[in-house]
C-alpha cells in the first residue's frame, strides 16, 4: 500500500482544513518545499498536492508550487484542485504532475474528463470521488451533486478509470478514524485501485486499510499534528 502524504495549498502556503471548510484554515508551514523535502528524507516517494485556491476559483492557481516541488524533489506528485479545462490539465502536466485528480470536472463535464482518460491514459488520470453521505461533492466541497458514489465510480470504471481517491468529507481533518465500511463497500462493488483519504489518526489504522485492499492512503493532518510521525511511516514503508 502506497503512503501518500498530502500538502494542501492556499496562497502558496501549506494548510489544512476540517471537513473541507475554508473557515477552519490552519497554516502549518509557509514553505511547501520544506515540507515536501522532509517527507522525502523519510523515504516517502509520493505526494498528494491540492490547490485549494484552484478548487474554489474553478481554474488552476498554485501551479508554481507544483513546479517547484517537481523540480526540487523526486516525489511523484498527484495534483488536484481547479482542473476544469484542457488548458488547466496541460499546465499541471507541464509543471511536473505525475498524475492528476479530477473530481468536479468528472461530475460537471464528463465528456471532458473521459477525453482526458483517452488522451493521457488511466495511469495518469485519477477519479476524485469525495462524498457527503453517499452524494458526490464538487467545487472544493462547496457544492453537493445529485450523483451517488457507487454509480459514479462504476460509470467511470466502464470508461477506463483505474485509480479512485475517495474522501468521506465528514471525516476529513477530524482525525477520528477512516471510513472503513465505506471503503469496504467500494472494494466489494467495484474493481478500482482505491486510495483512501480522510480521518487517519494513528499508525494502527494503516495495516487495517492495507488488509482491506486499499492501493494507497493519503495522510494529512495526522502528520502535521504529530499523531503519526514520519519515522513511523518510514518503518511502515520498509516493513
Query: What is the separation of C-alpha 149 from the centre of its chain, rounded to a whole number of angstroms?
Result: 16
Alpha-carbon span 159 to 141, nearest angstrom: 24
Compute the C-alpha angle 45/50/55, nearest 5°.
160
Task: Give the residue carrying C-alpha cell 513546479.
Answer: 67
71: left (phi over 0), alpha (psi -120 to 50) or beta: alpha
Question: Cβ neighbours of residue 13 under 8 Å, at least 6 residues apart?
Answer: 27, 29, 30, 32
Choosing from 130, 139, 168, 172, which is the catalytic residue?
Answer: 130
Cα distance between residue 219 and residue 196, in whole Å: 9
**Is the Cβ–Cβ distance between 156 and 165 less than 8 Å?**
no
Determine whether 172 is an active site residue: no
Pick the catalytic residue from 8, 53, 88, 172.
8
Known catalytic membership, residue 53: no
In 58-163, which ranges are continuous DSSP H helix? 63-72, 86-94, 104-108, 110-120, 149-158
SS3 23: strand
Active-site annotation, residues: 8, 130
Amino acid at each position: 500500500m502506497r503512503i501518500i502524504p498530502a500538502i494542501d495549498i492556499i496562497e502558496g502556503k501549506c494548510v489544512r482544513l476540517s471537513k473541507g471548510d475554508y473557515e477552519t484554515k490552519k497554516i502549518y508551514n509557509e514553505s511547501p518545499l520544506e515540507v515536501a523535502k522532509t517527507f522525502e528524507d523519510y523515504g516517502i516517494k509520493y505526494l498528494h498536492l491540492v490547490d485549494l485556491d484552484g478548487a474554489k476559483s474553478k481554474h488552476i492557481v498554485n501551479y508554481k508550487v507544483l513546479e517547484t516541488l517537481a523540480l526540487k524533489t523526486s516525489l511523484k506528485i498527484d495534483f488536484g484542485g481547479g482542473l476544469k479545462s484542457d488548458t488547466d490539465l496541460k499546465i499541471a502536466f507541464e509543471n511536473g504532475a505525475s498524475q492528476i485528480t479530477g473530481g468536479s470536472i468528472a461530475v460537471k463535464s464528463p465528456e471532458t474528463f473521459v477525453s482526458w482518460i483517452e488522451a493521457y491514459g488511466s495511469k495518469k488520470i485519477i477519479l476524485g470521488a469525495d462524498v457527503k453521505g453517499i452524494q458526490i461533492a464538487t467545487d472544493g466541497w462547496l457544492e453537493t451533486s445529485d450523483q451517488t458514489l457507487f454509480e459514479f465510480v462504476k460509470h467511470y470504471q466502464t470508461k477506463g478509470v483505474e485509480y479512485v481517491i475517495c474522501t468521506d468529507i465528514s471525516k476529513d481533518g477530524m482525525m477520528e478514524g477512516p471510513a472503513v465500511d465505506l471503503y469496504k463497500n467500494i472494494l466489494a462493488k467495484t474493481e478500482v485501485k482505491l486510495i483512501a483519504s480522510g480521518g487517519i489518526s494513528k499508525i494502527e489504522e494503516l495495516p487495517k486499510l492495507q488488509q482491506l485492499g486499499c492501493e494507497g492512503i493519503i495522510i494529512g493532518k495526522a502528520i502535521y499534528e504529530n499523531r503519526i510521525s514520519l519515522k513511523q511511516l518510514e518503518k511502515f514503508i520498509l516493513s
